[in-house]
């Protein structure tokens, strides 16, 4: 009877039927989420193309009058708002639509029963959002720099606080919407909310409605770029409060099928 063990010096080994390490499965899921965004025309439009158009049109032309402070350039006001809009696109609109369709197709329920598990699936989605945001920052910040944006380095570092808080809030909102509404409602609602937040939600331009998560994100990034520590901290606190509310609601009402 032949042995199933490899002979000495042999490079042939029997396949290992065990599951891959958890971190590797999460990383693979994250790459899948990134490919879904980059290869999906509608999501690519919201995450990269439209924010770039807003950046160019609002900063390089005077088609729309902006509430500029004395000595402030148009690009200094618009660039933080466009980055805030990009956060909403990558953390809310894209994940909400993708998760909604996965839920309707039964993919969420099936993946939850694999070794990846529910926790690994959610971790992969969050990591995928982070990957997409890195691409967004490189592209949009590079374009803004080419248009004349010169933010202080300390402001860029400070902006990480509302940026992270906003990502947490809108990712939780995406899971809440995708896990409770029908797919058609998720698709329509996510796109409609994106438009409303872009136009009048305080993202691109300040509106004074700082209690809204969209306005808190936009105001927080603008304040960070101006090195206004108190306003930045207040906006981050508002975003974290919304993140806690959305997370609690998602944990309570999210449906996997």
Token code pair at residue 148: 């004349």
pLDDT attached to residue 23: 77
Which residues fall within 8 angstroms of residue 72, CB to CB, at 6 or more apart? none
Distances (CA, A) of 8 to 15, 96, 115: 17, 53, 33
Asked if pLDDT for residue 139 goes beyond 50, the answer is: yes
- Domain boundaries of the chain, sorted by first residue: 22-60+72-253
Asked if pLDDT for residue 174 goes beyond 70, the answer is: yes
Radius of gyration of the chain (CA): 21
pLDDT attached to residue 242: 96
pLDDT attached to residue 37: 78
Mean pLDDT of 24-37: 84
pLDDT attached to residue 2: 47
pLDDT attached to residue 64: 81
Average pLDDT, the chain: 86
Please give the span between the terminal C-alpha atoms of the chain, in angstroms, as a whole number: 49
For 45-57, the pLDDT digits (tens) are 888 899 999 999 9
Mean pLDDT of 76-105: 91
Which residues fall within 8 angstroms of residue 181, CB to CB, at 6 or more apart? 100, 189
Greatest Cα pair distance, the chain, in angstroms, is 88
């Amino acid at each position: 009877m032949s042995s199933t063990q490899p002979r000495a010096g042999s490079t042939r080994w029997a396949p290992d039927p065990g599951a891959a390490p958890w971190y590797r499965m999460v990383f693979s899921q994250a790459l899948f989420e990134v490919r879904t965004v980059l290869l999906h025309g509608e999501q690519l439009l919201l995450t990269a193309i439209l924010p770039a158009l807003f950046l160019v049109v609002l900063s390089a032309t005077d088609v729309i009058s902006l509430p500029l402070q004395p000595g402030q350039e148009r690009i200094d006001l618009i660039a933080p708002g466009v980055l805030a809009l990009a956060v909403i696109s990558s953390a809310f609109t894209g994940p909400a639509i993708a998760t909604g369709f996965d839920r309707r197709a039964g993919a969420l329920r099936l993946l939850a029963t694999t070794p990846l598990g529910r926790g690994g699936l959610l971790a992969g989605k969050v990591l995928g959002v982070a990957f997409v945001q890195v691409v967004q920052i490189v592209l949009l910040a590079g374009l803004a720099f080419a248009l004349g944006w010169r933010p202080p380095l300390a402001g860029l570092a400070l902006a990480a606080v509302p940026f992270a808080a906003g990502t947490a809030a809108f990712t939780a909102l995406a899971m809440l919407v995708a896990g409770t509404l029908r797919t058609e409602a998720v698709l329509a609602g996510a796109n409609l909310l994106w438009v409303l937040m872009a136009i009048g939600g305080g993202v691109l331009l300040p509106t004074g409605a700082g209690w809204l998560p969209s306005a808190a994100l936009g105001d927080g990034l603008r304040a960070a770029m101006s090195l206004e520590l108190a306003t930045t901290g207040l906006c981050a606190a508002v975003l974290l409060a919304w993140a806690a509310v959305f997370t609690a609601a998602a944990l309570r009402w999210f449906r996997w099928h």
